[in-house]
Amino acid sequence: MPTPIKMPALSPTMEEGTLAKWLVKAGDTVAAGDLLAEIETDKATMEFEAVDEGTIASIEIEEGTEGVAVGTVIAMLAGEGESVEDAAKAAPADEPKAKKNEEKSDAKKDDAPAEPAKASPRESAEPQKAPAQAKAAPEKDGDRVFASPLARRIAEDKGLDLTSVKGSGPRGRIVKADVENAKPGQQAAAAPQAGSAAPVTMDGDAPFEEEKVSGVRKVVAKRLTAAKQEVPHYYLSVDINLDALLAARADLNKMLEAEGVKLSVNDLLIKALAKALMRTPQAHVSFQGDTLHRYSRADISVAVASPKGLITPIIRGADRKSLAEIATEMKELAGKAREGKLQPHEYQGGTASISNLGMFGIKQFDAVINPPQGMIMAVGAGEQRPWVIDGQIAPATIMTASGSFDHRAIDGAEGAQLMEAFKQMCEQPMGMML
C-alpha cells in the first residue's frame, strides 16, 4: 500500500511550516535516513529524513509553500513492488492545501462561475465584524463583485476595497494578480482582529517596499506581545565596575591562545549570571500558574540577532561549564542561529535569559521577559566614567545592567539580591572559577 509522507512536527509547538526546499524529485528512490526536504519552522530550517524506503511517486506540496499544516500529505511513496502511478493517484484528494497551492489553483477557479464567499469559522463566530469585512468584498444585488476566493482572502488581508479593483479574469472577475497589483490609493480601512492592534496602513506618499514577515518574526511578535500583556514586569539596575573582569579576560585569553579559544566579555557575563542565579535560588524560578518551578541548573538563553529575527540559543548548565566551554559552544550556537540551522533542543527551554546590546553602544535598556522564564538580564556597553575607588575619584570602565523580573514569581527584594550577586561576580571574577 502506498505510504503518504506527511508534514512532520519538528518541534513541540509547531503547527505549520514552510516547505523550503525539496531534496528529491518524483521518481527518485530513497532509503530510510535519506534527506527528503528542508522544512522551515518558526525558529529554524531543518532537514527532514525518510523513514521508509521506496520510490517518490509524487510531490503533493511544492517547495516554497508556506503555511503547510502538520499532518498534511506532502508527497507519496511507492513501496517495493507497488506501481508509482497508482501511488501517485492514491494521494488524498481532500488534504488541506497551503497558500501556494491555492495560488496555483486560482487560475482554474477563475473559469468557474463566481460563488458568494463563504463565512470562515472566525467570521461566523464574530458576526459583529461582518460590516467591516463586507467592505472588502461586497455582495450587493445588481452590483455584485465577482472575485476568486483567493483574491477575496488577499483583499481582506490587505484591506482592499474590491469595488475599486478592475478584474482581468473571465467576465471581469477579480483574480489574484489584480489585488496584488492594486495601488495604495485603492486601500480601504480593514477591521482589526479582536485582541490585536490594527496595523498602520496610512503610509502617505512615502515610497516603500513591502517585505513579508518571517515565521521567526511572527513568533517573536506573538510571544513578546503576550509577555508584556500577561507578565507584570519590574526593573532593577546596577552599575558595575568591569576593570577586574576585563583584566581577568585578558589573562585567560593569553592562557587559552594555544587552544584556539578566545573569550568574549559576553561569555564571562553568561557565566556570571549563571553563578548568580545559583547563589540566589529564590530568583531562579518561573511562574506556572498554581506552582513555581525552582531550577537547580542554570540554562542561560542568549539573545542573538538573525536575519529572520531574534532567537535565543541556550547554554545548558552554564553554571557548571568552564569559560572555555561556554565560549566554544556560544560561537557554534550563534553561527547556527544566524544561518537558521538551530535544532529545537538548542533553543527551546532555558531558565533565564541575557541580552547584550553593548556592542552597539547602548548604555542601558530594559528587556522583555521570555515566558515562561522569570527574568532576563540586559547589559549595556562598558564606558569610562568617574568612579570612587578607595575613597578617591578615578576613571573606571562601568557597565549598567538591568534586570527585568516577573513579579508573580520574584519579589523585589529577591530580584535585588540577584542583581547584587551578579554585580559581585562581575567585579570579583575569581568567584566564577569556584
**Residue 361's Cα: distance from chain center in Å?**
25
> Which residue type sits at 40?
E
Is the Cβ–Cβ distance between 74 and 60 less than 8 Å? yes
Give whole-number Cα distances, 402 to 236, 253, 336, 415, in Å: 5, 27, 28, 11
Give whole-number Cα distances, 311 to 44, 232, 340, in Å: 9, 23, 9
Is the Cβ–Cβ distance between 406 and 415 less than 8 Å? no
Q: With H, G, I as helix, E, B as strand and everything else as coil, classify residue 238.
A: strand
Give whole-number Cα distances, 390 to 147, 248, 421, 427, in Å: 78, 21, 21, 15
Q: How far apart are the first and last CA of the chain?
A: 62
Q: Name the phi and psi angles at 24, rounded to 5.
A: -135, 170
Instruction: Determine the number of helices (DSSP H) and then strands (DSSP E) in the chain.
Output: 12, 21
Q: Is 407 considered catalytic here?
A: yes
Which of 233, 293, 345, 407 is an active site residue?
407
Q: Is 259 left (phi over 0), alpha (psi -120 to 50) or beta?
A: alpha
Give whole-number Cα distances, 92 to 77, 96, 262, 375, in Å: 13, 9, 55, 47
Q: Catalytic residues, which ones?
A: 407
